[in-house]
């Protein structure tokens, strides 16, 4: 039995054969220049690579049980259509129907953040829980909600946009066009921006010396590193970051009261430092905390494989129900 998980990214596409235990048995990837290729050409490449992957793992096309796909952008999951993916330049691409022309098996698709959440919930840091919410702190803030081991995606699969809940009315501009979204304060992009701003205002900070005044060298790790070294400017940046991140997570605790919140994306590489700052913040402010079950905070464990494993989990999730 072969289940293929496909992780569509802005620069490359990764594919893997995933076992029912959530292990990647074989994987391949290829680079894609979306500016030069039509969506049909990319789909043709995906098809060829599925066949290559099966061949490489000594499976035949007949062994294929299902295909799961994670894709960035606004995805109509029930219809299998990529409605709009800015990074790929795709509008209304019927990806599932096109692949079904080649493969007569169940094919499922969802938004990449949802897919990562499902993979992490079933096979990663959330596997001991029935209900979890994953937050990906990367270029943006992605969200995925898993209830009783299944994704909650909302109508047309367009819900669970936790990064775009407003946490500061009329606050900072967000990429979605609204103001004050969780993403505008809690993404790695937002942390880098506030680090740079603080450095410009405080050129005595050790962070300024670290990059020799070159702000292009500022990344999402710098403020955390210097926070640990006791730099006061870095401390202010991180305290402010944790304040907004914490408020967003508290909203999630109070709305869903999941058993766990799973943190992924570049910022989650801070592991214990991040957890040690967030846990007391949540515990002090958790509405009804004393009478409520604690929400565990976990660092995601599947890393770069979450997309492939989660995409395969879409197939298993649907197979289990039917």
Which residue is it, tokens 């395969």?
A: 312
DSSP string over 121-150: HHHSTTTT-SSEEEEEESSSEEEEEEETTE
Closest to Zn ion by CB, 14 or 164:
164
Closest to Zn ion by CB, 181 or 253:
181
Residues 6+ apart with CB under 8 A from 73: 82, 83, 84, 85, 86, 87, 88, 90, 111
Residues 6+ apart with CB under 8 A from 216: none
Closest to Zn ion by CB, 109 or 141:
141
Shortest distance, position 187 Cβ to Zn ion, whole Å: 10
Shortest distance, position 155 Cβ to Zn ion, whole Å: 19
Closest to Zn ion by CB, 13 or 181:
181
Shortest distance, position 216 Cβ to Zn ion, whole Å: 25
Candidates 104, 73, 102; CA nearest to 90 is 73
Shortest distance, position 164 Cβ to Zn ion, whole Å: 4
157: phi > 0 → left, psi -120 to 50 → alpha, else beta; which? Answer: left
Closest to Zn ion by CB, 7 or 161:
161
Distance of alpha carbon 200 from alpha carbon 205, whole angstroms: 9
User: Under DSSP, is residue 247 helix (H, G, I), strand (E, B) or coil?
Assistant: helix
Closest to Zn ion by CB, 96 or 190:
190
Shortest distance, position 190 Cβ to Zn ion, whole Å: 11
Shortest distance, position 64 Cβ to Zn ion, whole Å: 38
Task: Name the phi and psi angles at 14, rounded to 5.
Answer: -110, 140
Shortest distance, position 194 Cβ to Zn ion, whole Å: 17
Residues that bind Zn ion (CB under 5 A): 164, 174, 176, 178, 181
Burial class (CB in 10 A: 0-12, 13-18, 19+), 236: middle
Closest to Zn ion by CB, 181 or 308:
181
């Amino acid at each position: 039995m072969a289940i293929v998980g496909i992780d569509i990214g802005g620069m490359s596409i990764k594919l893997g054969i995933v076992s029912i235990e959530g292990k990647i048995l074989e994987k391949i990837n290829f680079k894609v220049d979306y500016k030069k290729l039509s969506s049909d050409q990319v789909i043709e490449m995906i098809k060829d690579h599925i066949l290559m992957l099966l061949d490489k793992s000594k499976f035949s096309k007949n062994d294929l049980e299902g295909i799961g796909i994670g894709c960035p952008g606004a995805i109509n999951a029930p219809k299998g259509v990529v409605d709009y993916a800015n990074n790929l330049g795709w509008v209304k691409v019927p990806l599932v129907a096109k692949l079904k022309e080649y493969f007569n098996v169940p094919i499922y698709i969802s938004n990449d953040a949802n897919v990562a959440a499902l993979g992490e919930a079933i096979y990663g840091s959330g596997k001991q829980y029935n209900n979890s919410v994953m937050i990906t702190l990367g270029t943006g803030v992605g969200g995925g909600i898993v209830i009783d081991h299944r994704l909650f995606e909302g109508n047309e699969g367009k819900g669970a946009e936790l990064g775009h809940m407003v946490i500061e009315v009329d606050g900072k501009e967000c990429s979605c066009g609204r103001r004050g979204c969780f993403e505008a304060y809690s993404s790695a992009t937002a942390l880098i921006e506030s680090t740079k701003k603080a450095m410009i205002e405080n050129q005595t900070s050790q962070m300024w010396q670290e990059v020799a005044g070159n702000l292009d060298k500022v990344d999402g790790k710098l403020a955390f590193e210097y926070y640990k070294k006791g730099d006061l400017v870095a401390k202010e940046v991180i305290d402010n970051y944790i304040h907004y991140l914490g408020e967003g997570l508290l909203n999630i605790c109070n709305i869903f009261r999941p058993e766990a919140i799973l943190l992924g994306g570049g910022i989650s590489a801070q592991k214990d430092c991040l957890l040690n700052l967030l846990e007391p913040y949540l515990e002090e402010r958790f509405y009804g905390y004393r009478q409520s079950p604690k929400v565990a905070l976990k660092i995601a464990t599947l890393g770069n494989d979450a997309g492939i494993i989660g995409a395969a989990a879409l197939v298993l999730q649907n197979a289990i129900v039917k």
